[in-house]
A and B are shown apart, each in its own frame.
Chain A
Amino acid sequence: MRWFRFAVFISLVTVLQAGLVDIIAIKNIKPDLLLILLVFFAIYCNTSEAIITSFTIGFAADIIGSAMGPRIISFGLFGTLLAYLRRVIAIRKMPYQSAVIFITSFLAGALVHFLTFLKGQPTPPNICAVLFGISLYSSLMGPFLFLPIAWCMRMRAYRFSRH
């Protein structure tokens, strides 16, 4: 893993998510680029790298979110689980990747809302609809972004190794 390249790339995507992703929003539903990155690194990196990247991406997501903490825990937890799951199941085909993004986004989002509630912050009234929308949008878009991400990170997108 090229960590400097990773830091620059995450900063860039965080800025994009905070400022520019509104352009492609459909009825206030925006794709979660950071979650797509989380799934990418969990699938294509070794387990230790996947753990570090998951928590780092969670930190980046918290910085542009409503409160600090919920996404670090949620993204870190689900990224780590995905990294261990990938050692057992190969997630190489686009439909599988799409399904993984959908499930991870939905579960991580649910945990984020729960932790946000625990912190005493307001949560949207229609959580399920919002979560479903974001997860669906991210899952449709995600697999198509894997190749450009792999190119930016100088990684082979179709590598599959069991570390």
Chain B
Amino acid sequence: MIMAKNPIRVSRRMLITWFMLAGFIFLFAPQKLTNKFQFAFARIFRWPLSIGRNVSLSARMEQPLTNVVSRSEYSQLQNHLANVIEQRDQEHKKVEKLSGLRDRFVLEGARFVLADVITASIDGSRGELIINRGQDDGLAEDQFVLGNNSIIGTISDVSSRTAQVRLITDSTSRIAVKIAELNASWVMQGAGNNSAKVQLLSIKHKVKTGDVVCARKKPGFLDAPMIVGRVAECERDDENPSLWDITVEPVCDLKRLSNIAVIIMNLQ
């Protein structure tokens, strides 16, 4: 018996209705669920995306000068110096206590997981990276991420083999920081356009342009303060003149990052 093959015909109205419904389901579905599609895309097209990113990075790379170190190497060394100073200060405080108890050097127990950047979305208020390491490599949410020896963000979402990094400049990023020698904690919020803001800081504290801003230590995630950025602007707040409105710029060129390191502190 020969059966006639009838093609399924769907009216345009039905087509639009179904597609719109799918769109609204995606729109209102939890971000954690829909991120899986983005991770899957990044994983499937990891090689062409990495190649494309490397090509665009090398196209924008400035010509190396002779007898001088490159800007990236210079900032990397500067950041390393700032971190070592912070760690030294912390060790000095411990020595001063003369507790007599055995202790280990900060970050001694930390593991650094190196990862390549698959895609970077840095525009306007958004600052996100997708990296090629995930849960299988020990990554978890809220872990700090290093780029050129400075904190550049935290892990915001993680799948088995990829993870999303929320950069410090992203408008949803909030991390506790300390500024220069001031011994107090403030919240630094991403402001987009390669900057972040520190607000609610009284003008009685002396802050000047160029001061180092460090991420405060966070038990289980960061054992010692590490450099995040430098004060780019320090003005009185328009709404409340008794407070500073501080603009912080990252010490690392976030757009040119090709690889990063994730700090895993709470090793089993």
A residues lining the B interface (CB < 8 Å): 11, 14-16, 18-20, 22-23, 28, 47-48, 51-52, 55, 58, 62-70, 72-73, 76-77, 80, 115, 118-119, 122-126, 130
Contact = CB atoms under 8 A, between A and B. Distances in A.
Number of chain B interface residues as a range: 35 or more
A67 B49 contact: no
A63 B124 contact: no
B27 A69 contact: yes
Contacts of B25: 69
B22 A64 contact: no
Interface in B13-30: 15-16, 19-20, 22-29
Nearest to A47: B12
Given A119-B27, A124-B192, A125-B124, 11 more contacts: A11-B45, A14-B41, A14-B45, A15-B48, A19-B50, A48-B12, A48-B15, A55-B23, A63-B38, A66-B128, A69-B26
Contacts of A58: 23
B34 interface: yes
Contact of A126 (B59, B121, B124): B124
17 contacts: A14-B45, A18-B45, A48-B15, A51-B15, A58-B23, A64-B119, A68-B26, A69-B24, A69-B34, A73-B27, A77-B20, A115-B27, A118-B27, A122-B126, A122-B170, A124-B125, A130-B124
Nearest to A18: B119
Contacts of A62: 26, 37
Contacts of B16: 51, 76, 80
Nearest to B38: A63
B124 A19 contact: no
Contact of A64 (B20, B41, B50): B41
A59 B34 CA distance: 11
